[in-house]
Amino acid sequence: MDFFFTLQIYVNGEPRQNVRSSTRTKALVHGLALDCEFVLSIESSNGDKKVSKRNSISYNPVLLKQLANKKPPPIPRIEDDATTKITVL
């Protein structure tokens, strides 16, 4: 079984941070311009220096604003009686 030893984090293809422990589950990436689009990528390597495929996700501030302004779906309410019905408020 191969375990990773380091994670390399990239922003727009440039190395930004190196996480050197397989027990870490979070990393802070400082200096991101959240008003601009960017691509965040990550790859891992093990003790034999085998490197994983780089996985990426795109950040788009316009899409984020649209999602923030979208109304969430109504929460179903369960009525407390023998014939449980779900009512949408």
**What's the CATH number where 62 sits?**
2.60.40
User: Would you say 39 and 57 are in contact if contact means Cβ atoms under 8 Å apart?
Assistant: yes
Report the pLDDT value the prediction gives residue 49, as an integer from 0 to 100: 76
Residue 60 lies inside a defined structural domain of this protein: yes
What's the confidence (pLDDT) of residue 78?
65
Angle at 57 between CA 31 and CA 21, to 5 degrees: 65
What are phi and psi for residue 62, nearest 5 degrees? -65, -45
Q: Number of folded domains in the chain?
A: 1
- 1 in any annotated domain: no
pLDDT at 1: 46
Dist CA 30 CA 15 (whole Å): 13
- pTM score: 0.65
Task: Render each residue's pLDDT in the chain as its tens digit; 89 residues.
Answer: 456 678 899 999 999 998 887 777 788 899 998 889 999 999 988 877 788 899 999 998 888 778 778 887 788 776 655 555 555 55
- Alpha-carbon radius of gyration of the chain: 21
